Amino acid sequence: MNYFVYQTPVGPLTICEEQGKIVAISTHRPLPVGTEQETEVIKQAHTQLSEYFEGRRKTFDLPLAPQGTTFQQRVWQALCDIPYGETRSYKQVAQAVGNAKGARAVGMANNRNPLMIVVPCHRVTGSNGRMVGYAAGIEKKEFLLRLEGSLL
């Protein structure tokens, strides 16, 4: 695995790549096991994330290879279907993946999302719009939602 750390408006962001595909984007520490190397696909991801933070990009076009269970993959795909500037509740995402009573399971899949921002788990809120559950911290979730205009 190759990785590189960039300074961003949400703090240090580590972008990881394997075999030409992005496998993780995270603010978490410690650094992953692998080689610190700024590959072309990592540079591409950083460029698109910079455009996002500048308000010039609303969708991402990157080769992705997140690792997870079949259910997690379905949830992550449903997250990608939430438009920029909008939010959905955990219950709505659960319904979208065919598990109407699976809001808690959706929350766990969000927590395991390896591709923060690009797979927009920050767009999922509690049923009443409350800011709940974000692995990188609620303040980062609020920042991202404000950036997208869905939180005033």
Taking a C-beta distance cutoff of 8 angstroms, is the pair 122, 86 a contact?
no
140's tokens: 């980062």
Which of these, 129, 111, 131, 127, lies nearest to 119 by C-alpha position? 111
DSSP conformation letters of 115-140: BTTTS-GGGEE-TTS-----TT-HHH
The answer to whether 121 is a known catalytic residue is yes
Taking a C-beta distance cutoff of 8 angstroms, is the pair 61, 26 a contact?
no
Active-site residue, selected from the candidate residues 42, 79, 121, 144: 121
- Cite the active site residues: 121
